[in-house]
Structure 1
Amino acid sequence: MFTDFINRILGAEKVSVSNRLENAEPSVIMKKDSTKPIPEKYQRDIEALRQKYGDAFKTGLCINLTLQEALSIMPRERRRIDAYSGLVSYLKKEWDMTLSIKSQKTKSKTL
């Protein structure tokens, strides 16, 4: 009682815990899914790579393709390496896979 009187004088608010919050349940139950959905623009490409590599297509895989092989597996209108840059970055970020595509016109630099 004395503490209530002091709190009123000092202007402190009385804090009470509602029983309603202790028994509250979320209105939406979300499951944590370890696999994120694949963006629509990469679904066909990833499915084509899965068919080619089968069980080996998993996290940590390193895929080295020529541009001709990549075009036969995953066709593009723009027949250049940079047409696959989005897929390469997506696989690296989300799947921890390295996709390297080399062109016959690309010269390797060796010292």
Structure 2
Amino acid sequence: MNITDPAQTVAQIVKNRNFLGFGLQGLYLNKRRNTNARKAMMKLITFDQLKPNKGIPYCRVHLMRKVEAGGFPKPVPLSCRRIAWLEAEVDAWIAAAVEKRAHD
């Protein structure tokens, strides 16, 4: 391969599907994996799902008191009358509660 000919260099890279040691398919798959991870982190969970899915037994009023006091993650407003929580934040809150219990 002649380094001085950019067209040949680009053609060779495309032909080999390799750029700086990373295959183009690998870059695409990594990008897709990161997108899937981001989507998993952005999953919303409604109040009605908190008890059956996460075991959180609080009523709406008590839960909002805990949110205002900083004792529970803030909800994401979906509309003027609907809210939900990021599932990853709820899971982190549960893990922190378990960790706190272990240290008490």
Q: Which TM-score applies when normalising by structure 1?
A: 0.25
By percentage of residues, which structure has more helix? 2
Greater RCO, 1 or 2 (C-alpha within 8 Å, sep 6+): 1
